[in-house]
Amino acid sequence: MESSNAKNILLALFVVTNLLVVATLMIDFSPILAKYRNYPGVNEAKQESFQSAVTPVDRVEDKENIVESVDWRVYALDWWKNEMLSSKDPNWSGRQRMHDELKHGKLWYDESVENYFIHKLEEHQFPSNCSRNHWLAYQPMASGLLSCVHVLHPVLMMAMMKGEENTVIPVGYFLDGERTNPTYFGCGELRDRHLGCFFNLTSCRIEDDEMRYGALIRKSTSNQPRGVNWDYFMNRPTYPGGMTVLRNWVPVWPRPLDDDVRIQKNSTKPKLLFWNEVRKHGSVGVYGMGEAAVETVWEDYIEFAFTSMLSSWMLRQTTARVKEIANQIMAKYSDSTGRPLWKAPVLTLHVRQTDKSLEDPFFKKYKRYRNVTDYIKEMESFETKYKFEWPSIFLISDSGSAMQSLAEALNGVTGLPDSANGEEGKRFIMYDWTDDKDLIERTGGHNYIPEEKKHSAQEHFLASLYIIERISDYSIVAYSSNVGRFISELIGYRHRVACAERLGPSALSIDDCWTHD
């Protein structure tokens, strides 16, 4: 009897001990796990199609210091969300004041909203059964790369707003005499010259379906109208296994007659109905305002939120070659262990000059492009007002001389734009040093780049945008350019904030009469 009691006591002690160990583990590791969750308003790096997840931060502790080796793609993110780093940075409080002020009155959304939107998008574009979905075939317009991207956005939205199994299929050209867009030089045969050359947009391929492919060729070679418009597609039923050919130009959105019309909760417009569906799956709000403010938020903010999520998604869907170029660019700005030499926060400066005379409001008025020192003045105005400094600058421009002038104004250098990096008191300047920065300026514009060099130039251009999306905290851009608007979308997505005005929490447009539209 005594032996049995002793065994029971030992068994009870064993169970209690194990429970204590489990409880201790739960208590000890919860803060560690919580540390790597999102801070509000900052996006985590996403798993990507063409490469493995980014390298996590490795910390090796010695007697006095913690040595960090971190992939450049998550370096800025770690600075944003790691209070141990940001609290010691003299630039953090001023940068935070700037963002807090510029966010006031702007639409925000959380990770759950973003995840639901991307889930719906990929559900349409990467269906389990391509043959069952209705296909929305879209041929590119004759325009620049990001102009084509921005026109594709409402097409992708159409498929999602339809609320049925619809997949957007990018298609190229089918007639030898048909006008081809220099944007797609180097993409292969005429039929391959579309956005699928640069982005993995869908798992469905038009060539894999003989019936629909044949119907598309017949449609393309006939004298009939090439496709239908927005209203036709949205107001008529679609059927599994069918296909609608869309005209290669559609309005960005069907807008209300009165631009001052506010959005009402029960709007019947497809876009707003879809917005109401998406926001139910997470949290949305307006910075500095009550819950009711989201019911009357400006329609342009909703458009910006959708557009920014689409832009960043497309950039994540770019090719392995583009990401390889980005890594090569940033390798120069890292030490031998891969640790970045630049510091956050990073400001992006975007200057468009070579072929923008017809759209640049400054050029229209003064018959010349704006002096690059205007960008520096705007930058310094922010720094003076909010009492901080951008230690690192990323330059993107179609003008090599403009980049050179910016570097000279920033750091007083006359050599390469990044030649003063590492010198005390100098800003750390980054740009795509792996490509010919004078090519566009020398040839006279994007459309005049020799065909044999065009595709590579496009890949380098996308690599710069890929870098900006990963590292940039703010931007000074030109909204008269699709590039400037795209950059503001990338940074807006990073902070999960939507703003359509010239001045906002992701960008300032140097064009004083342009907004993000």
Q: What is the mean pLDDT of each run of 10 residues along the chain (517 residues)?
A: 51 48 35 30 46 33 43 89 84 96 97 98 96 91 89 91 90 72 91 94 93 86 71 85 77 41 44 92 96 90 96 97 97 93 96 80 83 95 98 95 94 91 94 93 88 96 98 96 96 96 95 72
Interatomic CA distance for residues 375 and 212, integer angstroms: 51
pLDDT given at position 272: 86
Structure tokens at 181: 């867009």
Chain centroid to Cα 22, Å, comes to: 42
User: Which amino acid belongs to residue 97?
Assistant: R
Chain centroid to Cα 453, Å, comes to: 25
Write down the domain spans for the chain.
Answer: 113-246, 310-509
Q: Which two tokens stand for residue 372?
A: 């690059």
CA distance between the termini of the chain? 85
What are the Cα distances from residue 197, in Å, to 158, 311, 465?
Answer: 22, 16, 17
Q: State the DSSP code for 223.
A: S
For the record, the structure tokens of 314 come out as 């497309």
Q: How many CB atoms lie within 10 A of CB 168?
A: 23
DSSP 228: B
Distance CA 450, CA 172 (A): 21
Predicted local distance difference test score (pLDDT) of residue 262 = 36
Residue 21: predicted pLDDT: 37
Q: Evaluate the CA torsion angle 186, 188, 194, 200 in order and state its sign.
A: negative
From residue 266, alpha-carbon distances to 295, 303, 418, 491 in Å are 9, 17, 53, 30
Predicted pLDDT of residue 43: 57
What's the CATH architecture for 310-509? 3-Layer(aba) Sandwich (3.40)
pLDDT of residue 52: 31
Q: What is the pLDDT of residue 265?
A: 36
Residue whose structure tokens are 């379906």: 209
Segment holding 245, helix H or strand E: strand 243-246
The C-alpha angle with vertex 54 and arms to 49 and 59, in degrees rounded to 5, equals 170
Q: What does the pLDDT read at residue 430?
A: 98
How far is C-alpha 362 from the chain's CA centre?
27
- What is residue 16's predicted lDDT score, i.e. its pLDDT? 45
Query: Is the CA virtual torsion 498, 500, 501, 503 positive or negative?
Result: positive
Stated pTM of the model: 0.84
Cβ neighbors of 513 (< 8 A, separation 6 or more) are: 361
